Structure 1
Amino acid sequence: MSGTTQLRPTYHGYVRDTTDALIIFEACLAGQLLHVPRRPHDRERQNVIKSGSIFVYEEHASGIKRWTDSITWSPSRIMGNYLVYRQLEKPFAPGEKKRAKGKGGKSTTQSGGISKPRQRNALPFQQGLEHGNEYPSVPSDEDRQLVGSLVDSYDFKEQGLVKKTISITYNGVPHHLISYYTVEDVKAGLLTSPADDQGLRGVVPRAELTNGQNFRAPIEESIGGAYMPGMRHSAAPATDAPAADAPAADASATGTSAVGTSATSASAVGTSATSASAIGTSATSASAIRATATSASAIHAPATGAPKWLPAVL
C-alpha cells in the first residue's frame, strides 16, 4: 500500500528551466520515471527532503492537495514559470506578517555566498574591495538564476534549501513538480539537469506539454542535452516582474515544415529549398529561420508558435 511503501524521489538533480521540468513530466507520463503516491511521512522527511530531490505527483491519483515538508519557507516569488522559496532561519512569530526587510538593516550573507550591501552609506553597486572586502558584492546573474529575487529580503538559513515548484495539466489532470536544492550544490556542479542527463537524452515532451499549458514565460530551447522542438530560445526572467507574452515562433514561415531532424548545415535545411534564403516566406537567412538557435543543426522540428504563459501556482 502507498502508506507503507518507502517513498523515493522521482528524480535526483536540478531543474534549471522549464525545459528540464517538461522532460521530467514526459518521463513520468511515459513510465520512465515514477510519480510519488503520497507526501513524505514525518519520519521520512529528513532522508528525502534534501538537495537534489525532485518529486512529481499527480493530484487525483495521489489525493495530495497541498505538498508539505515541515520546512519553514519564505513567501514565494515568481521566477520564470516556477515559484521559488528559500528556507528561513526560523519561523515567523505568531501573528507576525511575512514582510520583507527594509533597506536599512545590517548586511546579511546568504547561502552560497549571496550577499547584498545593506549599510546606509555603502555604495549600492560597489564590488568587494581587495583589502578587507568592506562592501559585499551585488548578487550575480548566476545567483538570481538560482534564487530569483529572494536575495536578502528575509532571514534565510545559511546553506539552506531552495524550493522550486511548477505545475502542468495533462488530459485535465494537474501534475506538480517539487524540486529541492542548495545554491552550493548547483554552483559546485553536483546536481545534473535532466537536459544534460544521458539517461533522459531521448525524452522529448509531447505537444500537449509544450503547447497546451498556461505558462507565463517562453519555454527555453535546451542548450545542452535534449532539444525542445518548435520553441524559441529565450531565457525566462529570474524576477517576479510580469513577463511579456511570447510572440509566435516563425508562424509565418511556410518553409519551416521542410526542416528535418537530420539537417546539419544551412544548405541541408529543407528538402526542396536550394539555399537558406529559400526557406520560408518571411525568413531571409538561416539565422532568421532558427530564431535564436545557434546553428541549423539545432533545428529538429517545425515551429508551431509559443503559447501565452501564466504562473503555475501550487
Structure 2
Amino acid sequence: MAMQLPTCTGIRIRSMSDAHVIFHAVTLGILPIVSRRLDIEERRYIHSGCVCVWEERSAAGEGSSVTGIERWTDGRRWGPSRVRDEFLYYQEKLPEFEADEELSALIFGSRLIKQTYSVFVDTPTGRRKWHLGTSVRLRARARFYLTLICMAS
C-alpha cells in the first residue's frame, strides 16, 4: 500500500476562499485527496502547515461505492471545538506534567491548533461531503498574527 501524504503542506488557511481554492484543486486532480485513514507511519508526517482533504464515507445505501473515511484520526488528542467564522478550531491536549514555568511555556507554545471546514461537492458519483483539516503550531500562529500587525502599522 502506497504511503499517503497530506493534500498539501506549508499552507496557512486564512479564509473560506483559501479553503475553496484547495477544494477546487482537489476536484481538478491537481492536489490529491486523502482516501483512507492514516496509518501510524503517515500520522508522523502531520505537522504545522499540513492540509488534508478527505471525503466522508457515505451512509449505507447512499451511492454505489463505499469509499471515504468515516471519521478522521490523526493520533492526537483534541479539546472541544470552538467556532470562529465558518471554521471549527481545536486545541491539542497534552498530558499533564510537572515542569518549571519556562519549560511549561515552551511546551504549551508547541501545541497544535487544528482548523477544520466542510463542504458538499458535486462529483461524477454524486454529492459528497468533503472535509479540510489543517494544523498550525500555537507559537507559529502568534508569529503569523504579529507579522500581520507589523505590516498594518
TM-score normalised to structure 1 length: 0.37
> Percent of aligned pairs with the same residue?
31
Structure 1 residue 165: deviation in Å? 0.5
Structure 1 residue 53: deviation in Å? 0.7
1:184 to 134, 139, 145: 139
Question: Which residue is 2:92 aligned to?
Answer: 87
Q: Which runs of 5+ in 1 are unaligned?
A: 92-109, 113-155, 190-314
Q: Which runs of 5+ in 2 are unaligned?
A: 58-65, 97-103, 145-153
Structure 1 residue 22: deviation in Å? 0.5
CA–CA distance in structure 1, aligned partners of residues 132 and 6 of structure 2: 11
| Counterpart code for 1:158 | G
* Structure of higher RCO (CA pairs closer than 8 Å, 6+ residues apart): 2
* Structure 2 contact 5–42 (Cα < 8 Å) conserved: no
1:63 aligns with 2:68: yes
CA–CA distance in structure 2, aligned partners of residues 34 and 187 of structure 1: 29
Structure 1 residue 186: deviation in Å? 4.0
Structure 1 residue 187: deviation in Å? 4.6
Q: What does residue range 30-45 of structure 1 map to in structure 2 within 5 Å?
A: 30-45=28-43
> Secondary structure of 2:133's match?
strand
Question: Which residue is 1:20 aligned to?
Answer: 18
* Structure 2 contact 54–68 (Cα < 8 Å) conserved: no
Question: Which residue is 2:48 aligned to?
Answer: 51
1:173 aligns with 2:124: no
In structure 2, the CA distance between the partners of 1:161 and 1:111, relative to structure 1 (3 Å rule), is farther
Structure 1 residue 72: deviation in Å? 1.2
Structure 1 residue 184: deviation in Å? 2.6
In structure 2, the CA distance between the partners of 1:16 and 1:111, relative to structure 1 (3 Å rule), is farther
| Counterpart code for 2:17 | T
Q: Quote the RMSD (CA, aligned, Å).
A: 2.7
CA–CA distance in structure 2, aligned partners of residues 8 and 43 of structure 1: 10
| Counterpart code for 1:159 | S
* Structure 1 contact 50–180 (Cα < 8 Å) conserved: yes
In structure 2, the CA distance between the partners of 1:10 and 1:111, relative to structure 1 (3 Å rule), is farther
Structure 1 residue 59: deviation in Å? 2.2
* Structure 1 contact 111–183 (Cα < 8 Å) conserved: no
CA–CA distance in structure 1, aligned partners of residues 93 and 108 of structure 2: 5
| Counterpart code for 2:133 | I
Question: Which residue is 2:150 aligned to?
Answer: none
CA–CA distance in structure 2, aligned partners of residues 176 and 81 of structure 1: 13
1:8 aligns with 2:13: no
Larger radius of gyration: 1
CA–CA distance in structure 2, aligned partners of residues 79 and 111 of structure 1: 25
Give the structure with the larger helix fraction: 2
Question: Which residue is 2:151 aligned to?
Answer: none
* Structure 1 contact 36–56 (Cα < 8 Å) conserved: yes
| Counterpart code for 1:169 | F
TM-score normalised to structure 2 length: 0.72
CA–CA distance in structure 2, aligned partners of residues 55 and 84 of structure 1: 15
How many residue pairs get aligned? The number is 127
* Structure 2 contact 51–134 (Cα < 8 Å) conserved: yes
Give the structure with the larger strand fraction: 2
